[in-house]
């Protein structure tokens, strides 16, 4: 096929429509290039439940073996299970998934040994250049001694590792949650027909939990709803089921199950910032009340406040996993969280795992008597807008108009770590350009709803006006 790699090689991964934008022969070239750029003599691969994933993953393995690398295939897995394998086996890895994208998409998330990220600045640009060269002049000659391809099961070890990091043995339903009548924490899990249906049964097995599964059948055509819990319409089924079951909480995983979203016993969404603060408090307690916690610049003010209250040091970063992981490595941070429900742990090779964050929420809930809504209220202190997208003809011009409107106003600070952040005593907003669409993304937080509405409306009028 005549592939345009500029369309499918993104900032952090490869992603596009199959077979229109990429296919198995192209995946084979990516496998060869991955081995050449990493210099690896062995790698590990895994894939999600999309119909195209086994074929693409197998082709990548052939390409890697053709360059002399031994390939360990772990087969069906979540993205964080692949990161586990990369860390535990100390091998570079490749995960075949398009995360929450629709069924016709697929992609590759690549990492170096120890789950270290591969992005544009850390090898992905070189991989693209090699593949483009081979597309133009012919595939590389096979090496004299090709590598082997073998299968390995890692789900059991992955589950055991996660459970070694959180004590769930003594959890019980909150006193206000005895409405279920049982002695176990009742949790509804919506896997969205994604890889949570593969990992949750093994991770939760034997725990004092009453599990109510939703959409656990692995189906890459997503027959029930998109596997993107960040979109409110995709958690409606979960919210209704939590209320109907009178459950203690609900969890929703995205397609490759690396992100986890939480709803409380009333079916109300729990902000990922509140989850970040809760997990940060627990990780700091595990580490003797000291340590660095990374948060991106559009998480709530609550996060750095809680980190300081617990004795830790908060560090603010740009949005994006490559920035979080780099800062975690630089600072030796114990934990990091993003507004998008990505949670990163030092004890998980600085990689993100929504499953471990979910176990922390379960442990926190089951270790005290309050319902989840009361427990998380202490970590959810401000009014937030969520992310508001505006389609604009000229991102730079619209952003400049906003900057000039706030520059010079008394009592404000402006910074451009990532887009434009304007901070006042009782509110802040961040305005960032999308890398892939003609959008400006606005996030606003304030001490009360009235202030939030005023700031939000003023900025949107400037952006859209």
pLDDT, one tens digit per residue, over 91-136 is 999 999 999 899 999 999 999 999 999 999 999 999 999 999 999 9
pLDDT score of 182 more than 80? no
- CA–CA distance from 114 to each of 29, 30, 43, 147, 259 (Å)? 23, 20, 11, 21, 20
Q: Residue 12 pLDDT > 90, yes or no?
A: no
Angle at which helix 354-366 crosses helix 196-204, to 10 degrees, equals 40
Per-residue pLDDT at 176 exceeds 80: no
What number is the average pLDDT over the span 141-168? 97
CA distance 399 to 418: 12
Place of tokens 């509110």: 427
Are 283 and 290 contacting, i.e. CB atoms less than 8 angstroms apart?
Answer: no
| Residue 164 DSSP SS3 | helix
Structural tokens at position 459: 């900025």
Report the predicted TM-score, pTM, of the whole model to 2 decimal places.
0.95
**Is 169 marked active-site?**
no
Burial class (CB in 10 A: 0-12, 13-18, 19+), 141: exposed
Q: Choosing from 53, 57, 78, 99, which is the catalytic residue?
A: 99
Instruction: Convert the pLDDT of each residue in 224-281 to its tens digit.
Output: 999 999 999 999 999 999 999 999 999 999 999 999 999 999 999 999 999 999 999 9
Looking at residue 30, its pLDDT comes to: 98
Nearest to 256 by CA among 232, 205, 212, 220: 220
Grade residue 150 by pLDDT with cuts at 50, 70 and 90. very high
Asked if residue 435 has pLDDT above 80, the reply is: no
For the stretch 347-381, pLDDT in tens is 999 999 999 999 999 999 999 999 999 999 999 99
Q: Mean pLDDT across the chain, nearest whole number? A: 95
On whether the CB atoms of residues 463 and 397 are closer than 8 A, the answer is no
Q: In this structure, are residues 71 and 145 in contact, taking their beta carbons and an 8 Å threshold?
A: no
pLDDT value for 116: 94
For the beta sheet containing 185-190, the strands, ordered from the edge strand earlier in sequence to the opposite edge, are 209-214, 185-190, 249-253, 260-263, 269-270
């Amino acid at each position: 096929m005549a592939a345009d790699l500029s369309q499918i090689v993104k900032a952090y991964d490869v992603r596009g429509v199959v077979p229109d934008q990429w296919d198995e022969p192209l995946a084979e070239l990516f496998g060869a290039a991955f081995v050449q750029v990493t210099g690896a003599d062995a790698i590990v691969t895994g894939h999600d439940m999309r119909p195209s994933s086994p074929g693409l993953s197998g082709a990548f393995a052939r390409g890697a073996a053709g360059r002399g690398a031994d390939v360990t295939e772990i087969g069906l897995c979540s993205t964080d299970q692949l990161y586990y394998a990369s860390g535990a086996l100390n091998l570079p890895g490749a995960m075949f998934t398009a995360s929450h994208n629709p069924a016709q998409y697929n992609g590759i998330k690549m990492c170096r040994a120890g789950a270290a990220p591969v992005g544009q600045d850390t090898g992905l640009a070189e991989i693209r250049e090699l593949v483009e060269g081979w597309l133009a002049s012919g595939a590389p000659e096979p090496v004299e001694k090709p590598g082997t391809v073998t299968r390995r099961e890692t789900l059991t070890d992955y589950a055991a590792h996660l459970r070694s990091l959180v004590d769930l043995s003594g959890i019980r339903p909150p006193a206000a949650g005895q409405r279920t009548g049982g002695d176990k924490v009742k949790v509804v899990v919506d896997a969205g027909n994604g890889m949570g249906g593969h990992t949750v049964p093994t991770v939760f097995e034997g725990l004092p939990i009453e599990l109510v599964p939703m959409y656990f059948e692995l189906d890459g055509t997503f027959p029930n709803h998109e596997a993107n819990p960040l979109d409110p319409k995709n958690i409606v089924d979960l919210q209704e089921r939590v209320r109907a079951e009178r459950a203690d909480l609900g969890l929703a995983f995205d397609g490759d199950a690396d992100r986890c979203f939480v709803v409380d016993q009333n079916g109300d969404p729990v902000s990922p910032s509140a989850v970040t603060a809760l997990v940060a408090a627990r990780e700091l307690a595990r580490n003797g009340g000291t340590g660095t916690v990374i948060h991106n610049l559009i998480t709530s003010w609550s996060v750095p406040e809680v980190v300081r209250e617990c004795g830790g040091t908060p560090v603010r970063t740009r949005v994006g996993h490559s920035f979080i992981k780099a800062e975690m490595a630089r600072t030796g941070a114990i934990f990091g969280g993003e507004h998008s429900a990505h949670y990163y742990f030092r004890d998980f090779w600085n990689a993100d795992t929504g499953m471990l964050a979910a176990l922390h929420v379960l442990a926190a809930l089951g270790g005290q008597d309050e319902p989840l809504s009361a427990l998380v209220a202490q970590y959810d202190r401000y009014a937030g807008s969520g992310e508001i997208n505006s389609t604009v003809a000229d991102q730079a011009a619209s952003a400049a108009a906003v900057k000039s409107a706030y520059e010079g106003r008394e009592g404000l600070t402006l910074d451009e770590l990532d887009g434009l952040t304007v901070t006042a005593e009782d509110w802040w907003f961040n305005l960032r350009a999308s890398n892939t669409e003609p959008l400006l993304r606005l996030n606003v937080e304030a001490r009360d709803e009235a202030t939030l509405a005023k700031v939000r409306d003023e900025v949107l009028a400037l952006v859209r006006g």
